[in-house]
Structure 1
Amino acid sequence: MMPSFPSWFLTCLLALPAWTVHAEKADRDKPMNVEADALRYDDARKLSLFTGQVVLTKGTILIRGATVEIRQDDQGYQYGVVKAEPGKLAYFRQKREGVDETIEGEGDTIDYDGRLDTVKFIGQAQLRRYQGAKLNDEFNAGLIVYNNLTDVFTLDGAPAVGAPGSTGQPGAPAGRVRAMLTPKSDPALAPAPATSTPMRSSPELNDAKR
């Protein structure tokens, strides 16, 4: 078993370029902070593996999971895989650039591809889009792919008959997808956006191990 490291040590030790998502360009210049029970860093492979109640923040990005693996290829693109604890879902959240909108998603596994600039929510996949504090759109499926460059969502049912579909509310059965879409209103008639965006409760870094 690897020894646990204090969170400040993980923050200083992590030398890989930032996990960035096109949705909020300012995030790429923000420091990355990670807290976990343990870290295995492979300099030759440019790979960092955090394990044990991992909480990662970087600008508007928040990631939670049992393990978070971050690697970088020779061209400088970053890739990340977040896996959930048994009975739970991995979590991802980020603000979209230039609009008062936030993307929030969960799945058994979350896979980020820096080259393609896509985020995949795999297994019991759920994705929500908030405008200010209001839930606008909600998606449930076996697999959800969000393309940050085109702002296109792709939903697929569970990959095999009998495999679990989404457990979101109201959820979708295996092999099916479910979506709730809110009509877009005229911005000139819309009320002023809320000043805060209450999402699902997220533990503070210092509370992540409780």
Structure 2
Amino acid sequence: MNPLLTRTTLQGLFVILGLLFANYSFAEKADQDKPVILEAEKVSVNDVKQVYDLNGQVLLIKGSIVVTGEDGHITVDPQGYEFVDVVGTPEAVASFRQRREGLADEFMQGRGAQVTYDAKSEFLTLTGDASLKRLLNMQMIDQLKGWQIEYDDVKQYYRVVPPKDAKPEDLPLARAILSPRRKATLEK
């Protein structure tokens, strides 16, 4: 292993790869005005505090956003924005899917042991053997894999973060497959 490739250097490399991965469409803006549909084996609602706890086979739908997992916690702020935290199981990981603004068949799709999504800042975090794909017409355009993936939809920024206890011999801790921007643009 090259001693010049420290964890900090690799994190910087993956931030750069993330910037290359970004495109210029944003999350579906119509999702903001859609109702939240919750399904689970057990749902606990505190309407005064705007807190919802879900247990067992969680399904959350809000417009084009679909989040699944085993257990979930949702908090709604005074402006009506949701903060979603869903965990999966070893057998069934948590997942997130959202249609992108603009092209009719462009989606962001991710999975991991835990999915958190802040609707106000449009910030998605996938943790634990995470993967994130950008799909166009159900074909993968770009893909990231790693221990933790952060995606800021407003800033069009991706970041793959290795575990804190990662060792140089564990590398590579992240992988990116990026389509050439020209080709991806022409196919749109």
TM-score under structure 1 length normalisation: 0.68
Which residue matches 1:69?
A: 73
Q: Is this contact kept in 2: 1:82–1:90, CA < 8 A?
A: yes
SS in structure 1 of the partner of residue 181 of structure 2: coil
Question: Residue 26 of structure 1: which of 25, 30, 45 is its match?
Answer: 30
- The Cα shift of 1:88 comes to 2.7
- Change in Cα spacing, 1:140 to 1:84, as seen in structure 2 (3 Å) is same
1:84-119 Cα distance to aligned partner (Å, 9 max, x none): 023331000001101242100001111112343200
Which residue matches 2:102?
A: 98
Which residue matches 1:185?
A: 182
Which residue matches 1:55?
A: 59
- CA RMSD in angstroms comes to 2.2
- The Cα shift of 1:174 comes to 6.2
- Change in Cα spacing, 1:157 to 1:115, as seen in structure 2 (3 Å) is same
Which AA in structure 1 matches 2:134? R
Q: Is this contact kept in 2: 1:161–1:175, CA < 8 A?
A: no
Which AA in structure 1 matches 2:60? L
Question: Residue 129 of structure 1: which of 128, 134, 155 is its match?
Answer: 134
- Change in Cα spacing, 1:117 to 1:187, as seen in structure 2 (3 Å) is closer
Q: Which has the higher contact order (CA 8 A, sep 6+)?
A: 2
User: Which residues of structure 2 form unaligned runs of 5+?
Assistant: 1-25
Which AA in structure 2 matches 1:53? Q
CA distance in structure 1 between the partners assigned to 2:135 and 2:186 by the alignment: 18
CA distance in structure 2 between the partners assigned to 1:186 and 1:104 by the alignment: 21
Which AA in structure 1 matches 2:39? E
Which residue matches 1:11?
A: none
User: Which residues of structure 1 form unaligned runs of 5+?
Assistant: 1-21, 163-172, 194-210
CA distance in structure 2 between the partners assigned to 1:76 and 1:30 by the alignment: 11
Which residue matches 1:208?
A: none
Which residue matches 1:206?
A: none
- The Cα shift of 1:31 comes to 3.0
1:171-204 Cα distance to aligned partner (Å, 9 max, x none): xx567211100112357853xx6xxxxxxxxxxx
1:121-166 Cα distance to aligned partner (Å, 9 max, x none): 011110011122221111001110110101111111223237xxxx
Question: Residue 159 of structure 1: which of 155, 160, 164 is its match?
Answer: 164
Which runs of 4 or more aligned residues in structure 1 lie more than 4 Å from their structure 2 counterparts after TM superposition?
A: 186-189
Structure number having the greater strand percentage? 2
Q: Is this contact kept in 1: 2:40–2:54, CA < 8 A?
A: yes
Structure number having the greater helix percentage? 2
Q: Is this contact kept in 2: 1:142–1:159, CA < 8 A?
A: no
